[in-house]
């Protein structure tokens, strides 16, 4: 596939590796919850899930929050960010929780991880579980046709851009965040289509990692794709408790393989 001229590179990235402890029997994956104060039903469903999961570990593969304006937002005790981290902190006392940045919460930093008691994950990471290797990613880096976004991603992940943004007053950043949410909602209502993961790039990642499965979110298109002989791409669902029917799905990995588990909201 020929892609428009852009700063995007199809070079296979370096993979971090996480070997699951031998006592892990089940692992859960979620992504794209886009938690925000204006959607309390989804927040409540997330709390319900955290309190009830029987998994041995939880992997959050990006966009847990609709937007993250900086770790200092947690310093306001009544803030949505502080309440969200309290939920994670309570869960992390029962099971290990791993967090990978998405395109909405990429500014979550060391203070966020430490405050929530969770572990950061590089994108991509290879999980070794049950003798098999799984590539974990948020997925945005593989959407090569979204040239404008890839250009912004390259800029926004730089230390200079982030420092410039985070030095602004918290109130100013919150105003900008509201603008981002409004733009996102307008695009959603317009029915605009989003770029999907580039299949050749996904195959290259799996082959380089010695893995048969890529697990990712970002696209909001939950499905299982066979890309080549023995290679599959498994897309996580986004969460929306207000949708009809509600979208509240966990992907569980066990010795039996991968299984999608819908959460019934209370």
Q: For the whole model, what pTM was predicted? A: 0.93
Res 171: pLDDT:
94
Residue 7 domain flag = no
Res 105: pLDDT:
95
Residue 233 domain flag = yes
The binding site for Mn(2+) consists of: 32, 34, 63, 103, 138, 218, 220
Spans in the chain with pLDDT lower than 50: 1-9
Residue 10 domain flag = no
Contacts of 90 (CB under 8 A, 6+ apart): 50, 51
Per the structure, the count of domains in the chain is 1
Residue 35 domain flag = yes
Degrees to nearest 5, angle at CA 186 with 262 and 66: 50
The binding site for substrate consists of: 103-104, 146, 184, 218
Residue 92 domain flag = yes
Res 10: pLDDT:
60
The binding site consists of: 32, 34, 63, 103-104, 138, 146, 184, 218, 220
Res 177: pLDDT:
84
Residue 2 domain flag = no
Res 8: pLDDT:
47
Q: Which domain holds residue 215?
A: 19-262
Contacts of 164 (CB under 8 A, 6+ apart): none
CA pair distance 146, 152, nearest whole angstrom? 10
Residue 231 domain flag = yes
Res 133: pLDDT:
98
Residue 1 domain flag = no
Q: What is the CATH number of the domain that holds 216?
A: 3.60.21.10
């Amino acid at each position: 596939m020929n892609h428009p001229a852009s700063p995007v590179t199809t070079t296979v990235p370096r993979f971090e590796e996480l070997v699951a402890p031998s006592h892990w029997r089940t692992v859960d994956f979620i992504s794209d919850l886009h938690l925000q104060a204006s959607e309390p039903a989804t927040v409540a469903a997330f709390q319900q899930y955290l309190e009830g999961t029987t998994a041995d570990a939880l992997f959050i593969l990006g966009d847990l929050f609709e937007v993250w304006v900086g770790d200092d937002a947690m310093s306001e005790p009544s803030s949505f960010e502080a309440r969200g981290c309290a939920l994670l902190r309570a869960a992390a006392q029962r099971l290990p929780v791993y967090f990978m940045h998405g395109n909405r919460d990429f500014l979550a930093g060391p203070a966020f991880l430490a405050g929530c008691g969770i572990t950061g994950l590089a994108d991509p990471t290879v999980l070794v579980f049950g003798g098999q290797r799984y590539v974990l990613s948020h997925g945005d880096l593989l959407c090569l046709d979204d040239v404008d976004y890839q250009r912004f991603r390259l800029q926004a992940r730089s230390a200079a851009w982030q420092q410039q943004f985070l030095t602004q007053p918290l109130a100013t950043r919150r105003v900008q965040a509201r603008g981002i949410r409004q733009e996102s909602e307008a695009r959603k209502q317009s029915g605009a289509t989003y770029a999907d993961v580039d299949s050749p790039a996904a195959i290259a990642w799996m082959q380089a990692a010695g893995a048969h499965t890529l697990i990712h979110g970002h696209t909001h298109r939950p499905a299982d794709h066979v890309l080549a002989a023995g290679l599959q791409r498994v897309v996580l669902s986004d969460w929306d408790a207000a949708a009809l029917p509600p979208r509240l799905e966990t992907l569980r990995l066990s010795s039996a393989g991968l299984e999608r588990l819908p959460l019934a909201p209370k």
